[in-house]
Amino acid sequence: MANVVIMPRQGQSVESCIITAWQKKKGDHVNEKDILFSYETDKSAFDEPSQFTGTMLEILWNEGDVVPCLEPVCIIGEEGEDISALLPKKNADAAPETASEEVKETPKAEAVATVSESDGNRVFISPRAKRLALESAVDMTKVVPTGPHGRIIERDINKALDEGFVATQEKVEKFLKGIVEAEETALPKEEKAAETVQAPAAAADVHAYTEEPMSNVRKVIAKAMHSSLSEMAQLTLNSSFNASALLAYRAKLKSSGEALGLGKITINDMVLFAVSRILPKYPEINANLIDNTFRKYKYANVGMAVDTDRGLLVPVIFGADKLTLSEISAKAKELAGKAREGKCSPDEMSGGSFTVSNLGSMGVESFTPVINPPQTAILGVCCTTNRLDAEGKVYPAMGLSLTFDHRAVDGAPAAKFLKELCGALENFDLLLAK
């Protein structure tokens, strides 16, 4: 009996997955637990093992396709088995492709990026440009037509020469035999005048661009950020603290901490530690707001924004308030590594009660972080800047930016949270003693 393999749903928030590679092809024998295909969600990458033994009878999606979760992906059964009843129905509204279907031709001026000998289109060249091409032995395959109707004019030859594109005389003559010489008298007066003046070197490139589809992870990020900004009443408070004690403790850890088996503890780890200790005191901030219902967490499940090649991901350190500084540091490194490799599971990317986004290492002095829905707040960590205290002494001030959802959190408790956090970081050695 034939069996249909569906696209798994890796987490409740996942709506679709991208097939990245097929490990089996149609007609291959499949054993149970053999990997059928590899796929990725907006956050992680997976391999799909077979639950059946048989023959790959049909593959319903190609590599690179975005497949909705729980949709059929392939069919496994006995060789020669009738699977017509299992095949997805074609879209009845889709018009079949026919040979007589009209195809709109792209204008030559836009379609031709470079002229090639294999181009079947008729390309015209002005007599002046043709003469210069023969005299200079320019590589005609690199010439970009900028004249009317895709015509090669003198400035196009000059530009190719300026960029160092040259060829043998024989190749130039052979190429010119395949294009049509335009009549000099047919050129408008304005074009003749233009040919006598060489255009700036970048004239043909100022409108150049490339296009690429938005990735699946980018779509998810865009949707979440748009939803966040359009559905929440977001407000940001900015403050700073004297980071002397924090930096001194970090220097001490750097010089001897690793020798004591503490690992490489960073400033961000220390901020995460301080946040985890203050957060449970503020239930509205350590919370999610879902359909007008507060989900107030008992523990600090702190999300940490991680910049990856696939986009911004936010793995969560669960129960961070129950972990030591060293344990938070180790967990943060583990999750950041998995996020960059695309190996975080959906469970590791959801359920956060609060998020920390650190741009301090990039020299950002202040910014407005966007809340990660359905959380009610997010902390932005900035770089240190030198300031003067009341006695005129220079000290390193580190900035913090707290964005909160004003529907869920009032300004006063948000300001108190930020003030207490600044105090804890300013006296980090005392915080560790609690």
Q: Length of the chain, please?
A: 434
Question: Rg for the chain (alpha carbons), in Å?
Answer: 31
- Choice among 29, 149, 226, 406 that is catalytic: 406
Dihedral pair phi/psi, residue 57, rounded to 5°: -85, -30
| Nearest partner of 328 among 294, 303, 291, 357, judged by Cα | 303
Tracing tokens 């409740």 back to the chain, one arrives at: 12
The span from the CA of 272 to the CA of 328, in Å, is 8
Amino acid at 205: D
Amino acid at 192: K
User: Would residue 226 show up in a list of annotated catalytic residues for this protein?
Assistant: no
- Count Cβ atoms within 10 A of the Cβ of residue 326 and give its class: 0-12 exposed, 13-18 middle, 19 or more buried: middle
Q: 55 has which bridge partners? A: 29, 77
| Nearest partner of 298 among 307, 314, 287, judged by Cα | 287
Q: Alpha carbon 101 to chain centroid distance?
A: 37
SS3 label, residue 84? helix
| Nearest partner of 41 among 69, 61, 73, judged by Cα | 69
Any idea what DSSP says for residue 43? S
Which residues are the active-site residues?
406
